[in-house]
Amino acid sequence: MRIFLAALLWISAIFFTPSLPDKSPYPPLLSKKFPLGTPSAFWASLLGMRRVAADIVWIQAFQYYGDRYPDYTELEREKEAELARYPLLLSYWQQVARLDPLFSHAYLTGATTLAWDLKRAPEALELLDEGIDFLEEMGVKFRLDSIIKTEGAHLLLTGKYEYYEELLWRMRTLRTVLIYINNDEFEEALPSLNALARLKDLPDDLKSMLAQIYERNAYYEEAFHLWALLHRNSLDTGLKEIAARRILAIHSKFKARSE
């Protein structure tokens, strides 16, 4: 009986989904934009629970990734070849975004982990470009002035951007930062960097990246502010410990300057 039901659902997905009216911004269940993922995520999406499926893959992505917040001073000492680890991470983030294309943290956190932690900027830009293209297409197609986004910190809950262009702006701004930083052009990246740093609701991964960029370029006050926010507000104990160490290090530099 279970095999029969599974086969029936599978056949329905193949023949019924493409014939649905084009009234949804979500990609068809079975399409080039929707590669089959884990069984649990696939069956959840097949039953119409795509956002639940996205949450499942979101959690699985971090299980795959392991340590989300390596100490960047230690990361610098690693061999370049070791940065090729987690070869499937881009696929995980894309799977989340394709299941729930309004899952903003999938783009922002995903691009940060790829470009900064793993030094794979082309993959980060590929992820951001996919999200930007989707939002631009959705805005024209559905004439939306606002969208519902999914907060990574609160699975299955939604918040609302006043204008969908706000999320587009964040993704474009992050894209600009990553391009300039990847080319060692800090001064050119600084306006976009400052604009992102002023936002209060960025993912912790992105705040950490911005703090590290500031600190490496001797913008210690800006770095101190972001590390202090992370130490006070982050729920991740590993990141809080890193933030505490960086706060002490920057404080020592301030103290040395004043002597």
Domain chopping of the chain, boundaries: 31-192
Output the six-digit token pair for 152. 């990574």
User: What global pTM score does this model have?
Assistant: 0.76
Please name the residues in contact with 75: beta carbons below 8 A apart, sequence gap of 6 or more.
117
Long-range contact set of residues 129-133: C-beta below 8 Å, sequence gap at least 24: 129/175, 130/94, 130/97, 131/97, 131/101, 131/106, 131/107, 131/171, 132/168, 132/171, 132/172, 132/175
Average pLDDT, the chain: 77
Cβ-based neighbour number of residue 198 at 10 Å: 7
CA dihedral 40, 44, 128, 70 (to 10 degrees): -40
Q: Note the pLDDT tens digit of each residue in 147-194.
A: 555 544 444 444 445 457 788 899 999 999 999 999 999 999 999 999
Residue 254: which pLDDT band, with cuts at 50, 70 and 90?
Answer: confident
Q: Does the structure show a pLDDT above 70 at 216?
A: yes
Q: Does the structure show a pLDDT above 80 at 31?
A: no
| H-type alpha helices, 17-71 | 39-46, 50-65
Q: Most confidently modeled of 1-5, 149-153, 216-220, 253-257?
A: 216-220
Per cent of the chain over pLDDT 70 is 63
What distance in Å separates the CA atoms of residue 204 and residue 38, rounded to the nearest whole number?
26
Q: Note the pLDDT tens digit of each residue in 68-108.
A: 544 444 445 454 444 557 888 998 999 888 888 778 889 99
Between 229 and 136, where is the model more confident? 229
Cβ-based neighbour number of residue 21 at 10 Å: 5
- The residue with tokens 């790829």 is 114
